[in-house]
Structure 1
Amino acid sequence: MTMHTLRPVAFDHPDAVKLNDEVQLEYAERYGDDGDATWLDPGMFAPPRGLYLLAYDERDRPVASGGWRSQDANEEAYADGDAELKRMFVIREARGHGLARRILAALEEDARAAGRTRMVLETGTKQPEAMNLYASSGYTPCAKFGLYRFDELSRCYAKPLHPAPAPAGPQPAGATA
């Protein structure tokens, strides 16, 4: 089985740019347009207000990407505490190895640790495998938000990012349950 490592990188890192170009071509192929027109600045993914991850294969080739960026209530219908998932992508040759699910879990954990309360994402009806991934990962349909909120092909999903439970341990002297 191929081993993949996840690494945080800047959104404008050459490997991230390469994968972003590939996902844009796939969007254009699926939707018959120029790809996702959402404006993204590399600073949007800088910790602690975001994170961008790449997965590398055993030959150190970038094969998957994903990131989150902080959002708060605004004119595009985001809510305070949102973490927006962006640019989840796995190259064709690396699909079927659970990379998207690994990246998704790592991004959720990081957003939760950064104090975000809900992970949101927008995908489209011509990406059924993405819709299946999110549904099987606990995401449910939500009110539309973002650039494509008025597009009939757009689908928006959300998942609460509940705080991690406190570790169970010995109770301080005199504590009662």
Structure 2
Amino acid sequence: MRRDLPAGPVSVDPVADDDADLADLLRRTVAELTRRYPDYHPEPYVGDAEYFVARLDGRPVGCIALVVHDDLPGVGEVKRLYVDDSARRAGVAQALMSGLEARARERGLTRIVLETGNRQPEAVALYGRLGYVVVDPYHPQGWNEVSIFMARGLAPPEE
């Protein structure tokens, strides 16, 4: 069954961590993660993150966070990528990733890493299309039976 997708352009903007739209999107992110991984109950907010909200036709439909860890020089981490069901397959996730990568380049980062899971095949496929490849775990928790670690290098910012 085909559903009609919103037609407007996607905008991606930085937001403060107390933004109401972000709070709602993060709540839905955690609900989705817990639905797919019943034993996993993450906190909605990630410490020291820069957050972005995507809007389609002016409506908040997705979010993402960029985290920079002191122990990973030059590396940014993708956290909390989420797109509302109503806006999936409309380019929102790709716009969020592009916005995050642009910000990472502005900050002088040269590599982006992320952790996804084997119960999120659409996310793994998206990251693969964007040039991310599977890598060894980059954080101390390391491998588990569901985690998939991916990364890609960033080209320098365009002048």
Superimposed CA distance per residue, residues 114-163 of structure 1 (whole angstroms, 9 cap, x where no aligned partner): 11111000000000000001011010111113375232100111111121
Pairing partner for 1:103 from 81, 85, 96: 96
* Structure 2, unaligned runs of 5 or more: 1-6
Aligned to 2:68: 70
Superimposed CA distance per residue, residues 85-134 of structure 1 (whole angstroms, 9 cap, x where no aligned partner): 11110000110101100110111111011111110000000000000010
- If asked which structure has higher relative contact order (CA below 8 Å, sep 6+), I would say 2
Q: Structure 1 residue 38: deviation in Å? A: 8.3
The residue type paired with residue 22 of structure 1 is: R
Aligned to 1:27: 33
Separation in structure 2 between the aligned mates of residue 158 and residue 90 of structure 1, nearest angstrom: 20
* Structure 1, unaligned runs of 5 or more: 46-50, 74-78, 168-177
Q: Structure 1 residue 39: deviation in Å? A: 6.6
Query: What fraction of aligned residue pairs are identical, expressed as a percent?
Result: 33
Separation in structure 1 between the aligned mates of residue 65 and residue 23 of structure 2, nearest angstrom: 13
**TM-score in terms of structure 1 length:** 0.79
Separation in structure 1 between the aligned mates of residue 130 and residue 18 of structure 2, nearest angstrom: 28
Change beyond 3 A, Cα 1:8–1:39: closer
Q: Structure 1 residue 62: deviation in Å? A: 1.2
Structure with higher Rg: it is: 1
Alignment check: 8 A CA contact 1:38 1:147 kept:
no
Separation in structure 2 between the aligned mates of residue 80 and residue 100 of structure 1, nearest angstrom: 26
**TM-score in terms of structure 2 length:** 0.87
Alignment check: 8 A CA contact 1:66 1:103 kept:
yes
Q: How many pairs align?
A: 153
Pairing partner for 1:86 from 40, 55, 79: 79
